[in-house]
Structure 1
Amino acid sequence: MGIEIERKFLVIKEKWNQADKGPGKLLRQGYILSDPEKTIRVRLTDTDGYLTIKGISRGATRQEYEYLIPQEEAEELLNNFSANEVSKVRYKVEVYGKTWEVDEFLGANEGLIIAEIELDSELESFVSPTWVEKEVTSDIRYYNSNIAQTPYNCWVEK
């Protein structure tokens, strides 16, 4: 069974802008199914496509199955079957032996920056970078599938 253990954090923009992060990768992702108990997502990068199925989150843990698909098929799926989408630039940053994925959202979600770290267990300890702020792992507003439906810049309370 595919399991993902992931924690999410808001990022302090000023500190992040000063960080050594290297080049980012533009991602377009859309949701074929976005349900509180499961999502089916298609992601398109400049080189690849991915089909991902995720189950309901229990704490920081959920089932996840991800498959590499041809880039052209990912684009067709996004264009023909996606109910809603997000675009973002993703950076992968090594901090104290752990890989952090930091997403700078674009379009109606511009201004939102989220950092994610995948762990081997929910109890695993790690050191947060200086640009990490508040944890939002259990705040469903920050799920990408929800951000696609209700963009960050439409939120009354942030």
Structure 2
Amino acid sequence: MSDTGYGDFEFERRFWVRDLPRELLDASPALIVQSYFLADEGYAIRVRVQASSVTGLVLTPALDELALLEAYADRIDLCAITVKGPMNEGTRYEAERELDVSVGLEMVRRGGARVAKTRHSVWLGEDGWVIDTFAGANAPLVVAEVERGGPVTDLTIPSFCVTELTSDPRFSNDALAGRPYGSWAPRYETELAADGPRFLQSLGHNHRQEPE
């Protein structure tokens, strides 16, 4: 939710990552598990629980979302329910309310399709980024995301961002809950090789960093 005069809207851009520099990853990322009670054409009702700091966690496709939730249930310290609307070139309606952690845990356990991921936060240039590494059925997906209090224009895009996902509805978390990335990852790699990377051109000038 934005507090800069835009009301219940979020402004973000998201990118597909293949090779992430390890030095960007802190040793204690957040663990997020979220359950979708509605996910249809960009409209979503989501309950998210989060452990703000976990260590020594190695994500694999075999480690599913519910197993992760139970393994770290006693570390969960944040919970919220969120209503979302469809994405429109980096802008999306989002209304969020914090919940009691014990209630949120039970809702995620009992609720709809789940997504689990670790989240690393890093400051790059003038922007704060989060890097999500997905677990379970969505492994091996890695997504880098930048969010601002207003439209994300004139963005410096790190070199590890291969292509932009902002306007690709397949990569929203609510879509991934119903159609996990792991089931179509090879097809996407083939598509990317054929079509090449794409970046939004409607939000100012993109500044692409070159690999070192």
Distance 1:71 1:45 in 2: 9
Q: CA deviation at 1:45?
A: 1.0
Larger radius of gyration: 2
Alignment of 1:72-83 (within 5 A): 72-80=102-110, 82-83=111-112
1:125 is paired with a residue whose SS is coil
For residues 67-106 of structure 1, what are the alpha-carbon distances to aligned partners after superposition, in whole Å with 9 as ceiling and x for unaligned? Answer: 22111111111122x2200110011111012111110000
2:82 is paired with a residue whose SS is strand
Number of residue equivalences: 155
Runs of 4+ in 1 over 2 A off after TM superposition: 17-21, 119-123
Alignment of 1:1-158 (within 5 A): 1-13=7-19, 16-22=20-26, 23-46=28-51, 47-80=77-110, 82-122=111-151, 124-155=153-184, 157-158=187-188
**Identical columns (%):** 30
User: In terms of mean alpha carbon deviation, does 19-28 or 140-149 score higher?
Assistant: 19-28
TM-score normalised by structure 1 residue count: 0.91
2:90 corresponds to which letter in structure 1? A
Distance 2:37 2:31 in 1: 20
Q: Mark the runs of 5 or more structure 2 residues left unpaired by the alignment.
A: 1-6, 52-76, 189-212
TM-score normalised by structure 2 residue count: 0.69
- Closer/same/farther in 2, CA of residues 59 and 139 from structure 1, 3 Å limit: same
Q: Mark the runs of 5 or more structure 1 residues left unpaired by the alignment.
A: none
